[in-house]
Amino acid sequence: MSSPEPDLITDLPLFPLGSVLFPGGDLALQIFEVRYLDMVTRAWKTGQPFGVVGLTRGSEVRQRTSQDEGFAAEQFHSVGTLAHIEELERPQPGLIFIRCKAGRRFSLSESRQLTHGLWVGQATLLKPDPVVPVPPDLLPVQQALRSVADRWPQAKPQDWDDAGWLSNRCAELLPMPLATKQQMMALDNPLLRLELMGDLLEVLQKK
């Protein structure tokens, strides 16, 4: 049995992305930047996660500026999600493919960028969603997601009656601005998250 994750992680490697990773979700990445190749290799060897955070400024691939040949500034949200590498492939030198499973959310109290560009931060893990049954008035959300159940072949029967798991899968799929997805991921109340997803789904179905 693996040891439980500590509540505080110092120097957590960070991977800023232009997307939002929800707990329990899947993430596939193609790694080619030098700053991430070593980080991913170390994470794979040690079994430690890295943190995915949503970009608010900058791009996923580090960009040089035209003025002084420095690099464009990068900024990201303070609430992110741990990514645990489950598969890793090296098709050629300098290129790595990874598949990850999203774990717990975290909140950054500070972050800093190392000389080679990698961000690391001090992260406090947030409590997992409590298991809350899907109430009768939100069963239409459950039914809508069951229509595309093949997207989650490893889902357990109890997952479908868990408001947290269901709301996260719904938020992954429904069209929303990235800022709204970030707000949904950062919500501590899984039932409220599911209610908001239900409202959005109802609006989309009426269009």
Mean pLDDT taken over the chain? 90
Query: Is residue 130, in this structure, part of any structural domain at all?
Result: no
Does 114 lie in the same domain as 25?
A: yes
Q: Where in the sequence is the domain holding 163, given as residue range(s)?
A: 136-206
Does 159 lie in the same domain as 81?
A: no
Query: Is residue 18, in this structure, part of any structural domain at all?
Result: yes
E strand or H helix that includes residue 202: helix 190-206
Secondary structure of residue 74 in the 3-state scheme: coil
Does 199 lie in the same domain as 104?
A: no
Question: Which of 75, 134, 128, 85 has its CA nearest to residue 104?
Answer: 128
Query: Is residue 189, in this structure, part of any structural domain at all?
Result: yes
Does 156 lie in the same domain as 115?
A: no
Mean pLDDT score, 32-37: 91
Last residue of a domain, one of 125, 159, 183: 125
Q: Tokens representing 163? A: 């408001």
Last residue of a domain, one of 105, 125, 145: 125
Q: Whole-model pTM?
A: 0.89
Does 190 lie in the same domain as 120?
A: no
pLDDT category at 71 given cuts 50, 70, 90 is: low
> In the chain, how many domains are there?
2
Last residue of a domain, one of 97, 125, 153: 125
Does 151 lie in the same domain as 74?
A: no
E strands, the chain, are: 8-17, 26-31, 50-57, 75-76, 79-92, 95-113, 119-125
Query: Is residue 110, in this structure, part of any structural domain at all?
Result: yes
Does 118 lie in the same domain as 170?
A: no
Structure confidence at residue 1 (pLDDT):
41
Question: Which of 195, 181, 96, 91 has its CA nearest to residue 137?
Answer: 195
Query: Is residue 2, in this structure, part of any structural domain at all?
Result: no
Does 104 lie in the same domain as 68?
A: yes
Lowest mean pLDDT: which of 6-10, 17-21, 37-41, 173-177? 6-10
Question: Which residues are registered as beta bridge partners of 95?
Answer: 92
pLDDT category at 29 given cuts 50, 70, 90 is: very high
Does 98 lie in the same domain as 52?
A: yes
Does 83 lie in the same domain as 16?
A: yes
